[in-house]
Amino acid sequence: MKEQREKKIFLDGQFVNEADAKVSVFDHGLLYGDGVFEGIRAYGGRVFRLEEHLERLFDSAKAIRLTIPLSLEELTNAVLECCRTNSLWDGYIRLVVTRGKGDLGLNPASCPKPTLFIIADAIRLYPPSVYERGLRLHTAAVRRVSSEALEPAIKSLNYLNNILAKMEASASGSDESLLLNEQGCVAECTGDNIFVFKHGELATPPVSAGVLPGITRREILRLAREEGIPAVERNMTRYDLFVADEVFLTGTAAEIVPVVEIDGRTVATGKPGSLTQKLLLRFRALTRSTGPLIYSSGRPAETEAAQQQ
């Protein structure tokens, strides 16, 4: 059996072994979900849309008045170095900034220094069979957090209602849950945006519906328009999903996943649609040719060994 390499975590400016990567129990990210994060993908030795992910991270932090302790350039270099340190070629990067260690009160003024850590690791994807057969969705009873309570464009650490919806999907025997907003309009799924294709038009809910403006979502809107397909953002109800020609989800980890059933209703033929498959192929080609290089010259031998462990 091959010996498992211990991951190195970038924590507050230095690399530490996974076992030593510790955050205080008084950290407000743990106590109150006070912080922001990004999930980023590496493909073939490149970090896909790193600049856009970091821009969203800084925007989210600014919106909650949280100061990121590194500059954009420093954080870019830290992400790439974390990938190199962990011999990552294809994988997932989790970048988290919390309010930091404070006291047991809510007041963020008790937190003098933010906590920042980066994890670069292998990613657990949907199995290939999911892309071939498609997902079954269940509409969750829990609603998306109101835009008036928490701005959906902020990618914060507050994911409890998404977790509750994910549990509902498991309990119902479905693959994923669909979240509606307070008005009963379609918002998103537990970790992915949703798209509907009908009568030659591709539509996705607007941010005002309670939607995180996903990086993959943005790319799919752009790719569809390049294909000459009208791609719009508009409010939708479940009816729009029930009668759609195609439905699919998008996300950093999921990429593009077809949906074939919603609340017991078959979507169109019950098989992944042609547009979904075309966009997935175009997106995957894009990920292999876009983004800053992790390594200056080809694939180091140790990355291949790391991927096999």
Report field, pTM of the whole predicted structure over 0.85: yes
Closest CA to 241 of 191, 205, 192, 216: 205
Q: Is 270 in the same domain as 144?
A: yes
Active-site pick, 7, 8, 155, 166: 155
pLDDT reported for residue 1: 42
Q: Is residue 305, in this structure, part of any structural domain at all? A: no
- Residues β-bridged to residue 107: none
Task: State yes or no: is 198 an active-site residue.
Answer: no
The size of the chain, in residues, is: 309
pLDDT reported for residue 306: 67
Q: Is 145 in the same domain as 32?
A: no
DSSP 235-303: ---HHHHHT-SEEEEEETTTEEEEEEEETTEE-TTSS--HHHHHHHHHHHHHHTT-S-BSSSSS--HHH
Q: Rounded CA gap, 227 and 275, in Å?
A: 10
Q: Is 116 in the same domain as 151?
A: no
pLDDT beneath 50, residues of the chain: 1
DSSP 54-73: HHHHHHHHHHTT---SS-HH
pLDDT reported for residue 308: 63
pLDDT reported for residue 27: 98
pLDDT reported for residue 309: 62
Q: Tokens in use for 276?
A: 């979904």
Q: Is 111 in the same domain as 176?
A: no
The count of domains in the chain is 2
Q: Is 103 in the same domain as 132?
A: no
Range of the domain at 156: 128-287
Q: φ, ψ for residue 179 (rounded to 5)?
A: -105, 130
Q: Is residue 3, in this structure, part of any structural domain at all? A: no
Q: Rounded CA gap, 176 and 138, in Å?
A: 6
Neighbouring C-beta atoms of residue 59, cutoff 10 Å: 14
Q: What is the CATH number of the domain that holds 160?
A: 3.20.10.10
Q: What is the CATH number of the domain that holds 109?
A: 3.30.470.10
Q: Which long-range contacts (CB under 8 A, 24 or more apart) does 223-229 make?
A: 223/279, 223/282, 223/283, 223/286, 224/275, 224/279, 227/278, 227/279, 227/282, 229/200, 229/201, 229/202, 229/275
Q: Is 92 in the same domain as 226?
A: no
Q: Is 155 in the same domain as 268?
A: yes
Q: Is residue 238, in this structure, part of any structural domain at all? A: yes
pLDDT reported for residue 123: 83
- Residues β-bridged to residue 16: 9
With beta carbons less than 8 A apart as the criterion, state whether 168 and 178 touch: no
pLDDT reported for residue 4: 66
Query: For the segment 150-182, what is each residue's pLDDT rounded down to a tens digit?
Result: 999 999 999 999 999 999 999 999 999 999 999
CA distances from 275 to 187, 201, 206, 248, 279 (A): 22, 11, 21, 10, 6
Q: Is residue 304, in this structure, part of any structural domain at all? A: no
Residue 18 CB contacts under 8 Å (≥ 6 apart), including other chains:
6, 7, 8, 9
